[in-house]
Amino acid sequence: MIANYHTHTFRCHHASGVERDYIEKAIAEGLTVMGFSDHVPMPFPDGHQSGFRIRIEELEDYVRTLQALREEYKDRIEILIGFEAEYYPAYFDAMLDLLAPYDYDYMILGQHFIDNEASSYAATPVTDEAYITRYVDQVLEGLSTGKYTYLAHPDVYNFTGDENVYYKHMKRLCEGCKSMNIPVEINLLGLMGKRHYPSDRFYRIAAEVGNDAVIGCDAHHVKDVADPEALRAGEEFAAKYGLRVLETVELKNPKK
């Protein structure tokens, strides 16, 4: 691995570690590009305070800290400033407005819920086709904005109903990603945590469609950055399906 685009910090309130320690680990593991993608602040109405994101009032410090580190480390590693962001249609414009004053490089799409955090988490088992339809529709609509660089954990949606229904919608998802030139992420947090993703059934479809893959650490602790054992597992996983793994990805500018 030379580039990782999926990194969290203590700022999202469920990860640990400060930016500098993540950067030092990235350098020690030989990375040349280190992208931070902490969970984006989301301007929900009624003052709803999310428990797993950077808070709105903490956003400035996140960006300023990374800007200073980007400068300090510029001869040793390229630091990218990004966000892992959902696509919630009702809040999307307000979210972009919130980020607009800041200098940042990219967003990855991590669709953890449908519409907002009041619905059930994407990893909760679901059997109803109506939900997977909406989930995939929302992901594709988000990607079609052109603002997302890649799709994080594309297989987080835990549909446990009819396999033909899963195939139909995930094929639609994979074909959409391919046509929009969006890589799909092999998520090392899920792989090492033995979660239901990355899933064989999803990557069989991605292989059939011919998606490009990217390995993402989804680091929530400093030790997760380019962890050699996790990387080996990720590469083996990709090789099993003959997936093309991109070493670096082309950033899509979210400010255009």
Q: Which residues bind Zn ion (CB under 5 A)?
A: 84, 218
Contact yes or no for 53/40 (Cβ under 8 A): yes
CA angle at residue 215 from 106 to 194, to 5 degrees? 120
Contact yes or no for 224/1 (Cβ under 8 A): no
Distance CA 187, CA 244 (A): 15
As measured in angstroms, the least distance from the Cβ of 53 to Zn ion is 9
Pairing of strands 212-216, 150-151: unpaired
User: Residue 52 or residue 127: which is nearer to Zn ion going by CB?
Assistant: 52
As measured in angstroms, the least distance from the Cβ of 37 to Zn ion is 7
Q: Catalogue the long-range contacts made by 46-55 (C-beta closer than 8 Å, 24 or more residues apart).
A: 48/117, 50/117, 51/13, 51/14, 52/12, 52/13, 52/14, 53/12, 53/13, 54/11, 54/12, 55/13
As measured in angstroms, the least distance from the Cβ of 219 to Zn ion is 8
User: Residue 209 or residue 230: which is nearer to Zn ion going by CB?
Assistant: 230
Of all residues in the shown chain, the one whose CB is closest to Zn ion is: 218
Round to the nearest angstrom and report the end-to-end CA distance of the chain.
29
User: Residue 42 or residue 209: which is nearer to Zn ion going by CB?
Assistant: 42
Which residue do the tokens 């059934």 mark? 201
Tell me which DSSP letter residue 57 carries.
G
User: Residue 54 or residue 170: which is nearer to Zn ion going by CB?
Assistant: 54
User: Residue 209 or residue 227: which is nearer to Zn ion going by CB?
Assistant: 227
User: Residue 84 or residue 155: which is nearer to Zn ion going by CB?
Assistant: 84
As measured in angstroms, the least distance from the Cβ of 84 to Zn ion is 5
As measured in angstroms, the least distance from the Cβ of 109 to Zn ion is 11
As measured in angstroms, the least distance from the Cβ of 117 to Zn ion is 13
Phi-psi category of residue 111: left, alpha or beta, with phi > 0 → left and psi -120 to 50 → alpha: beta
Q: Position 181: which residue type? A: N
